Amino acid sequence: MKNRNAFKVILYLVLTVASFAMVFPLIPLIFASLKGATEFNDTGPLTPPKNWFNFHNFAVAWTQGNLAHAFFNTGILLSVSLVGTILIGTMTAYALDRFDFKGKKIIVWSFLIATLVPGVTTQVATFQIINKLNLYNTRLSGILLYLGTDIISIYIFLQFMQSIPKALDEAARIDGAGHFTIYFRIILPLLRPAIATVIIIKGIAIYNDFYTPFLYMPDPNLGTVSTSLYRFIGPFSASWQVICAATFLVILPTLVVFLALQKYIYKGLSTGAVK
């Protein structure tokens, strides 16, 4: 019995040390974001702020960093790309799982091969294509790239689709429903759990993506949360307390979503990886 307790203590100790290592890097950031300029310069990074409710830096970051606009831009990219991904992914899965047709094998294979090509390797050439389409420096470039290079979602839908009994659409077909009605009225609603998974992984990926907006949307007015925060560094580097506040503001939505949807996120992450 004693042994068991000692074992438990060790386990807790391990978890506490590990968790501390994860949380610690954020502490100086949070402290700094609540300090005034002179206080920031005169106190150490691990000294707590005098006033825990000094939100001045947040106000500066929000207004001068144009963060409201950044959240708006990211919001647009997120919503359009997510809706598009879901439609495209479910439609593809529907076609591949429910129809037998010539060329199906080739399609499946081309998607399979595409998973082998990481997007990061082809940017040099993709850039030229976006440029030729006259989409450089437009929101559409980001949306198109998020839609067009996402094969994982298709797989998630495909996998889930296989668990929906075919008898359901057969029954509907006998009742005279067309293929579109079957897709829209029967399949799409049943795919809801898979849609939730895709929204979570894809949403996190888009919100956190730096590469795409950085390379394709340099116009500061199109700045996403990532690129706006990145641009923040130069002009504000003399006042890191403001940069810290801006960083915290960017982290905040993630924190809220995480706390609210923890279970779904864990599930989404494991489903997404085991494609």
Partner 1 sequence: MIKERTKRQFIPWFYVAIPLGLLALLTFLPVINMFRYSVTNWDGVDPTRQYVGMSNYGKVFTDPEIFHTLFVSIYYFGGAILQIIFALFLATVLSYGLRGANFYKSLLVFPFLLNAVAVSLVFRFLFRGGDGLGPGGLDVLLQHLGLGRFVTQWTGNPHVVNFSLAGVSIWRYIGFNIVLFLGAIQSINPELFEAAQLDRANRWHQFRYIILPGIRRITALSVILAVSGSIAVFDIPYIMLGGANGSTTFVIATVKTAFNLGRVGLASSLAVVLLGIVLLVTFVQRTLFKDEQVDLV
Partner 2 sequence: MRKRLVAGVVSSVLAASFLTAIGFTPAQAAPAGWCKQITVLTNRTDIAPTTFTKVYGPQFTAGAGNGTKVKFEAFTNYNQDVLTMMNTKNYGDVLGIPNSITPAQFPKFFSPLGKASVLSKTYRFINEGSYNGTVYGLAQTGNAGGYDVNLKDWKAAGITTPPATPAEFIADLKKIKAAEPDVIPLYTNYATGWAPTAWTNSFTGYAQGVDGQNIMAKDKAPWTAGKDAFIGDDLLYQAVAAGLTEKDPTSTDWEASKPLINKGAIATMFLGSWSVSQFQGAGPNPQDIGFYPIPVKDPKTGKFQTFISGDVKQAINKNSKCQASAQAWLKYFEQDSGYAYSQGGINPYIKGPNGESYTIFDKLGVEYKSLNPAPAGHDSDFANVQKAAGIPTDGTLEQNIIDTARGAKAGTEASIFADLNSKWATGVASLG
Using the contact rule CB under 8 A, the part of the chain among 106-114, 168-176, 184-192, 228-236 near partner 2 is 228-236
39-60 burial: b if 16+ Cβ within 10 Å, else e: bbeeeeeeeebeeeeeebbbeb
Phi, psi of 51 (to 5 degrees): -115, 115
What does 207 bind: partner 2, partner 1, none (CB cut-off 5 to 8 Å by kind)?
A: partner 1
Binding marks (x or -) toward partner 1, 100..139, rule CB under 8 A? xxxxx--xx-xx--x-xxxxxxxxxxxxxx----------
- The two tokens of residue 134 are 């006259």
Place of tokens 């074992």: 7
Closer of 135 and 199 to partner 2 (Cβ): 135
Contact 123, 58 (CB under 8 A): no
By CB under 8 A, how many residues form the interface with partner 1?
98
CA 32, 37, 38, 41 torsion-angle sign: positive
Binding marks (x or -) toward partner 2, 139..178, rule CB under 8 A? ----------------------------------------
Using the contact rule CB under 8 A, the part of the chain among 49-57, 60-68, 143-151, 189-197 near partner 1 is 143-151
Of 50, 64, 210, 220, the residue at the interface with partner 1 (CB under 8 A) is: 210
Q: Does 14 bind partner 1 (CB under 8 A)?
A: yes
Q: Does 253 bind partner 2 (CB under 8 A)?
A: no
Residue 252's CB is within 10 A of a number of other CB atoms, namely 11
Q: Does 238 bind partner 2 (CB under 8 A)?
A: yes
- Report how far residue 251's alpha carbon sits from residue 271's, in angstroms, rounded to the nearest whole number: 24
Binding marks (x or -) toward partner 1, 162..191, rule CB under 8 A? -----------------x---x--------
Please give the torsion angle defined by the CA atoms of residues 216, 202, 65 and 139, in that order, rounded to the nearest 10 degrees: 40
- The two tokens of residue 148 are 């067009």
Contact 34, 57 (CB under 8 A): yes
- The two tokens of residue 260 are 């609210």
Contact 254, 74 (CB under 8 A): no
- Binders of partner 1 among 67-86, rule CB under 8 A? none
CB of 65 to partner 2, least distance (A): 10
Of 55, 111, 136, 264, the residue at the interface with partner 2 (CB under 8 A) is: 136
What does 219 bind: partner 2, partner 1, none (CB cut-off 5 to 8 Å by kind)?
A: partner 2
Q: Which residues bind partner 2 (CB under 8 A)?
A: 64, 127-128, 131, 136-137, 215, 218-221, 231, 233-238, 240
